[in-house]
Structures are given as structure tokens and as C-alpha cells.
Amino acid sequence: MMFPLTRNALRTFKIRSIQQIRLRQSHEKHSPDFHDKYGHVVLASGIAFCVVAWVFTATQIGIKWNLSPVGRVTPKEWNDK
């Protein structure tokens, strides 16, 4: 268990430090970092790579998808015997 005086001091310290960080961040100019500069390009290239990989997989490796039986299924002759 923490003593009440210690607990209150820690709470006050946390609140002050959070307030100081927010105050500092609001006054600073935000300089662009790697994610600001290249984030969308990296995301778009990753999406393009995945799409190309799936298209290649779906069309070139010889999977028989059997999507529709139309034209492949023929009825058998009726047997009256």
C-alpha cells in the first residue's frame, strides 16, 4: 500500500508532466518525420505488391478454380429398365 502523501505526490507529478508535454508540443512547430514524408508511398507500394502477388497466384500457378459447372455437367441417359 502506498502512503497517501506519496500517492498524491505521484499523481501531481504525472499530471504536471502531461500538461508540460502538451504545452511544449502545442508551441513547437511539427517538423515532418519519415512517416509524414513517405508513409503514404510505403503504404501504397505495399498494397500494390500484395495485389500483384495475389493476381499472379490466382492466374499463373495453375489452380483449377471450378467456379461454374455450366457447360461441364451433362445429364446421363435415362434408364427405364
pLDDT reported for residue 78: 81
Q: What is the pLDDT of residues 67-78, one digit of tens each?
A: 776 777 777 788
3-state secondary structure of 74: coil
pLDDT tens readout for residues 1-17: 557 777 776 666 666 66
Class of domain 33-60: few secondary structures
d(CA 27, CA 19): 13
The mean pLDDT of 25-54, rounded to a whole number, is 86
Confidence of residue 56 (pLDDT cuts 50, 70, 90): very high
Check residue 64 and give its pLDDT.
Answer: 74
H/E element, 66: none
Backbone angles phi, psi at 70, to 5 degrees: -65, 130
Decide: helix, strand or coil at residue 59: helix
pLDDT at position 30 is 67
DSSP string covering 10-30: HHHHHHHHHHHHHHHHHHS--
